Amino acid sequence: MLPAPHSRHGRHMKDLLKTLLCCALLGAAVSSAAGATPLQTLMDDFTQLAREMDPVRAAERGDQVAATHWPTNSPAAVTKRGRRLDAMSMRLASAELAGLRGEDALNRDWLRWRVGVLREGLDFDAERINFVSGDGFYTVGDYAALNTAPITTAEAERWIARVRALPAYYLAETANLRRGIDTSFTQPQLTVERAIADLSERVARPAADSPLLAPLQRLPPDMPAAERERLLAEGSDAVKTVVLPAERRLLVFLQEKYLPRARRGIGASTLPRGIAWYRYLVRLHTTTKLNPEAIHTLGESEVKRIRAAMDAVIAETGFTGSFPEFLALARSDPRFYVDAAQWGEKAADVATRADARLPQFFGLRPRLPYSVAPIPAGLESSSAGYLPGSPERGLPGRVVYKPWLAATLPTFGIAAWVLHEGAPGHHLQIALAQELQGVPEYRRNDDITAFVEGWGLYAEKLGEEMGIYRDPWERFGRLSLEMWRACRLVIDTGIHALGWSRERAGACLRENSALPATEIDFELDRYIAWPGQALAYKVGEQTILRLRRESEAALGERFDIRAFHDVVLGAGALPLALLEERVHAWIARGGKA
């Protein structure tokens, strides 16, 4: 049971209930507004559903109602969600939405895809597995804190109330885990052990160092000191007396109840209906109809192709030994390893050089800036990479690295990594989508894995044309990272569809890439805990590359690289089939907007 709220929070909750009621009525009014087309009504309804399903992202976009609560994934909520999705599916199939053209047709088809995969996914009750390797429902608050920047006392108090609501969110998600135990739908033991280690570190951290307090440490400088101190004290009290006890209870639950019942196998095939679930996840993350067998074959082909490209680049370095000997050199030569400060400086330099070349390759560029920085406190167990900003709240994007691992990561891989995470990769693509005008909110903010990660991998390759890679070693670094993504196709399908062991799966990366052993271990744990997601990178990249080749062949001298990139990015993240339609329509127009 949660402690009784402070009187200030009690008044706030009464105001919140009134706000929720008003917004519910407003939402109904918008959906039934006179003159709204069936498509617009449907888009309004899906916008509301998307906000409810992901209040963290909605709050980042400035939704004040969403900024007061956490996701709701109880069986009752999911059942209700399913009924709403079923109703939307029927409306999407109606004759009223046939014959649409242009942007209306794209919005309809996007909704058909998204509503369809959401509804199909509900049949597997995947809410029973709500954490992966390094992340879970217990880190959702940390991510929310990143882009929460209260500028008024009321906003700060809303954040404190939201922090106090975390235990109820934990309890609801723990109930999902209990249902997973009862139905033998659990994470593998090694994933649970990782979660236990992460939670142990969380509960050992002093309350004053909690990342949940970060928004209160960013209060505006003109706020009276006494008010600032009061808010920070109330936030600290919420973490110390409410959140930390809840996380300790969760830790005990994982140790005493969940771990003994965690599954012994590592592949999705060891779960009830696991093969069917994995095939669904493949469709979800790749947005294609490819099956695991076809993706495995693609992976083997790409590994072979990239190895040949590596051999050519190695010859340019003057090295004359064997490939294993070259990998041993790359992993041990001190000239490729620096301390964290130097690593960060080199990454920032790549970002600066890439930004200077963007106008030659992109007509569309975002206004929102980004920086290269150490990963924020509280997310240490997550992957390094890109943290989106918020144009609505004036918060920049961030490319984040782990300082404590920097000394183990070779510098020849920095350039490709920054291009993927920053610009022209994730930051350019995601920030552009966030800033699009005349595009539904849910399309501006969706993170369709095959598109987003496919574009990030394409951006690494584009760096060759941009002149970012300055020597054969940096080009080898790019190929090593590309090999990493090709191996994912082999590893993920091997583990989850073919019954491979962790040791057999890791051989692809150990034998073909320069990734250090620690990174390989981290990656293997990620693929085991998060089936299907890692397939999207290569599948998406291959689609974008194919569309570019088709465009160049069809348009000849009329092909404009800036225009091609703008048409790919100009509608936000799309399922690959819709991206293909968009590019083919552009080709049919002679490469004109």
Mean pLDDT value of segment 281-303: 97
pLDDT band per the 50, 70, 90 thresholds, residue 34: low
Q: What H or E segment, with its residue span, contains residue 330?
A: helix 323-332
CA distance 519 to 515: 6
pLDDT band per the 50, 70, 90 thresholds, residue 20: very low
Q: Residue 16 pLDDT > 80, yes or no? A: no
The domains found in the chain, sorted by start residue, are 36-123 (1.20.58), 127-264 (no CATH), 279-539 (no CATH), 543-588 (no CATH)
Identity of the highest mean pLDDT range in 97-101, 276-280, 435-439 = 276-280
Nearest residue to 159 via CA among 393, 400, 441, 379: 393
Q: Residue 425 pLDDT > 50, yes or no? A: yes
Q: Residue 154 pLDDT > 60, yes or no? A: yes
Transcribe 335-380 into DSSP letters.
Answer: GG---HHHHHHHHHHHHHHHHHHGGGT-S---S--EEEEEPPTT-T
User: In this structure, what token pair is assigned to residue 381?
Assistant: 């167990």
The answer to whether the predicted template modeling score (pTM) of the entire model surpasses 0.95 is no
CA distance 289 to 266: 24
Torsion of CA 187, 193, 194, 197, to 10 degrees: 140
Q: What H or E segment, with its residue span, contains residue 54?
A: none
CA distance 53 to 56: 9
pLDDT band per the 50, 70, 90 thresholds, residue 484: very high
Cis peptide before 396 (omega within 30 of 0): no
Cβ neighbours of residue 553 closer than 8 Å, sequence gap 6 or more? none
pLDDT band per the 50, 70, 90 thresholds, residue 445: confident
Q: 390 phi and psi, to 5 degrees?
A: -140, 105
Nearest residue to 279 via CA among 447, 578, 487, 493: 493
Least reliable range by pLDDT among 53-67, 273-287, 359-373, 453-467: 53-67
pLDDT band per the 50, 70, 90 thresholds, residue 381: low
> In this predicted model, what pLDDT tens digit does every residue of 333-377 receive, in sequence order?
999 999 999 999 999 999 999 999 999 999 999 999 999 999 887
Q: Residue 185 pLDDT > 90, yes or no? A: yes
CA 125 to chain centre: 21
> In this predicted model, what pLDDT tens digit does every residue of 106-134 receive, in sequence order?
999 999 999 999 999 999 999 999 999 98
Q: 94 phi and psi, to 5 degrees?
A: -75, 155
CB pairs under 8 A, 24+ apart, for 327-334? 327/513, 327/514, 330/410, 330/412, 330/476, 330/480, 330/514, 331/410, 331/514, 331/516
Q: 494 phi and psi, to 5 degrees?
A: -60, -45
Average pLDDT over the chain reads 91
- Amino acid 382: pLDDT: 67
pLDDT band per the 50, 70, 90 thresholds, residue 8: very low
Q: Residue 215 pLDDT > 60, yes or no? A: yes
The residue among 512 and 151 whose pLDDT is bigger is: 512
Nearest residue to 216 via CA among 202, 203, 229, 200: 229
pLDDT band per the 50, 70, 90 thresholds, residue 24: very low
Mean pLDDT value of segment 95-103: 91
